[in-house]
Amino acid sequence: MKWLYVALTLLALLAAGCRFAAAEPTPAPAHPDTAQVAEGQEESGPALELPDIIHNLKVYFGGPGENERPGNWIDFLFAWRGNFFALLILILISILLLRGAAKRQMVPGRFQNAVEYVVESFYDFVHGILGGYAREFVPFLGTLFLYIWFMNLSGLIPLFKAPTSLFETTLSLAIVVFVYVQITGFRKLGVIGYVHHLIGAPNDALTWALVPFMLPLHLISELAKPVSLSIRLFGNIMGEDVLIAVFTSLGVAALAFIRSPIGIPLEFPFIFLGLLLSTIQALVFTLLSAIYLLQMLPHEEEHEHGPS
């Protein structure tokens, strides 16, 4: 099942990137002066963020020129750069976890010990929210947390870009959570129980009379959850990247009068802030996802499920 969660996340990420890959690049203007203006406007766009390696490749290989053809490989790679970094991080996480589980021993080594500590700590965290349901949902929530955490942290690495600083990535993750929660509701409550949940779980004449009002409100509330999840994560990670980029630019500008190739590292304290913020935002996203799951689970059966 854990591979299903990974596959769902990948499919959502790739689907969200399709609209960028399908967009046709603007051909280079014929007039040289117009080309310079267009180039300046294009390069001024990403100034709020530090350039990643794909952006640098686009600047180097994708500038206007005689040999440039619309739709070349760098335009395709640039359009899919969020998906590229997300896939790279997914491969890295898979390698780390597979290595940690490949040679398990009764007396664990340092790496196995670290992996087991992370898994046990996260299980205790989820168990405090979901109780006896924790073991069932830890694979999904754990994959979600590690994936978002690594994506957040990747933005602090030079020449990398945090995929979660792109709205299409965070919206894709939120849609995966939304679909998973709805499927869990159908599976745990049944069709009748799921509909009963959507109409506000009425149990007397008054609450049944309020069903026409409660159903639209509940539907709006369910649809608003992925939007709020995605905007919160996107806004915080994007703001973190912009903050670091601004102070990096200020550090470079401070030594521009001596033509120094490097600047004052004014962004250094904010990197530690970024480490904290990246961890908190991954936890918040996972915590809210666990709460959405809890709201969909049959609460009357909670005491029948003990931690196994």
Q: Is the pLDDT of residue 33 over 70?
A: no
* 98/100 Cα distance (integer angstroms): 5
- Could you read off the pLDDT of 279-288 as tens digits, one per residue? 999 999 999 9
- Could you read off the pLDDT of 157-216 as tens digits, one per residue? 888 899 999 998 999 999 999 999 999 988 888 888 888 888 877 788 887 888 888 888
Is 69 strand, coil or helix? coil
* 240/124 Cα distance (integer angstroms): 29
Check: CB of residue 93 under 8 Å from CB of residue 147. Answer: yes
What single-letter DSSP state applies at residue 23? S
pLDDT of the residue at 10: 47
State pTM to two decimals: 0.77
What residue spans of the chain are helical by DSSP H? 2-21, 32-44, 53-61, 73-79, 81-102, 110-130, 134-154, 167-198, 205-209, 211-254, 268-296
Per-domain residue ranges of the chain: 2-15+47-67+69-304
In this structure, the number of other CB atoms found within 10 A of the CB of residue 148 comes to: 29
Is 207 strand, coil or helix? helix
